[in-house]
Amino acid sequence: MPRNENPLRVIGGKTTLFFEMAGEFAILIKNILLGLPVSIKKFHLTVEQMLFMGVNSLPLIMITSIFTGGVASVQAAYMFSDYVPMRYLGTAVGKSVILELGPVLTALVVAGRVGAAIAAELGTMKVTEQIDALETLALDPVKYLVAPRFISGLIMLPVLTIFSDFIAILGGLLVSTLFLNVSSFTFLNGLKLFFRMSDVWAGLLKAFVFGGIIALVGCYMGFRTEGGAEGVGRSTTRAVVMASVMILITDYILASFLFGS
């Protein structure tokens, strides 16, 4: 329905919606935490979700990671040109992969695959009254549907990120030895040179937060679904877009906390 809306009113509406959503997110997280004892007792539900997340995203993560590592190598070499010695190539690739590319790209891939799947599944359950049915059986959807996905996201994103880090660095190594005339010895030495375990932890902390975001946004959009199959499609798209935006914003916030002076 095209309506002649006052732009101020639209902005006001969106702002209200933002705060409403923030509030609902907070309530969702609170309820997950309250239901944690139940979730631990029903850990098989979480394991199911972990397998789903892993199996669904691994192939795509492998492909994106190997090329991302390759690109990181090529671009770093280009930026170094004659000013920075090539023995630092491994350092540059390693740092950028571990701190930024691994966690963020993994999260974006998982948001597209798993976040969308969560929103579609829960959205379908919502519009076919399966969520209501769960409630009438005195089973709390937050404990049975949201918590397993949330916990699984928190665990699986770091795991997938570790995979992604390894494969991306391997991609960087391959490109540098095959096309950039940098031996694997030089590359790996560079990688070791300024390697710090704290960087790995920082990257994994990001992944942990991103995992929570993807699951929460997927569930939230699923629960909000209205209006049949069309509504499910809308929620799915929204979940991916919103998770992606939130991942990038949170990435910045975390980076300024972790590395800002």
Partner 1 sequence: MIEIKELFKNFGRNQVLNGVSLNIEKGETIVILGRSGCGKSVLLKHIIGLMRPDSGQIFIDEEEVTSYSNDKLYDLRKRFGMLFQGSALFDSMTVEENVGLGLTEHTHLGREKIKEIVKEKLRLVGMSGVENLRPAELSGGMKKRVGLARAIAMNPEFVLYDEPTTGLDPIMADVINELIIRLRDTLSITSIAVTHDIVSAYKIADRIAMLYEGKIIFAGTPEETKNTTDPVVKQFIEGSSEGPIPTLE
Binding positions for partner 1, rule: CB under 8 A: 124-125, 128-130, 132-140
**Sign of the torsion angle spanned by Cα atoms 48, 49, 53, 54:** negative
Q: How far is the CB of 132 from partner 1 (least distance, A)?
A: 6
Which CB sits closer to partner 1, 136 or 198?
A: 136
Q: How far is the CB of 252 from partner 1 (least distance, A)?
A: 36
Which CB sits closer to partner 1, 48 or 63?
A: 48
Which CB sits closer to partner 1, 85 or 228?
A: 228
Those residues whose C-beta lies under 8 Å from the C-beta of residue 230, and which sit 6 or more positions away, are: none
Q: How far is the CB of 239 from partner 1 (least distance, A)?
A: 19
- DSSP assignments along 96-141, one per residue: HIIIIIHHHHHHHHHIIIIIHHHHHHHHHHHHTTHHHHHHHTT--H
Which CB sits closer to partner 1, 15 or 128?
A: 128
Q: How far is the CB of 60 from partner 1 (least distance, A)?
A: 23
One-letter amino acid identity for 50?
M
**Cβ distance 88 to 187 under 8 Å?**
no
Which CB sits closer to partner 1, 81 or 136?
A: 136
Q: How far apart are CA 150 and CA 21, in angstroms?
A: 17
Q: How far is the CB of 121 from partner 1 (least distance, A)?
A: 8
Q: How far is the CB of 47 from partner 1 (least distance, A)?
A: 15
Q: How far is the CB of 13 from partner 1 (least distance, A)?
A: 13
Q: Please report, for residues 27, 64, 92, 135, 214, the alpha-carbon distance to residue 69 in angstroms, rounded to integers and kept in the order given.
A: 39, 9, 11, 47, 24
Which CB sits closer to partner 1, 92 or 131?
A: 131
21-27 contacts: CB < 8 A, separation 24 or more? 21/220, 24/220, 25/216, 25/220
**Cβ distance 143 to 35 under 8 Å?**
yes
Q: How far apart are CA 123 and CA 194, in angstroms?
A: 47
Which CB sits closer to partner 1, 73 or 235?
A: 235
Radius of gyration of the chain (CA): 21
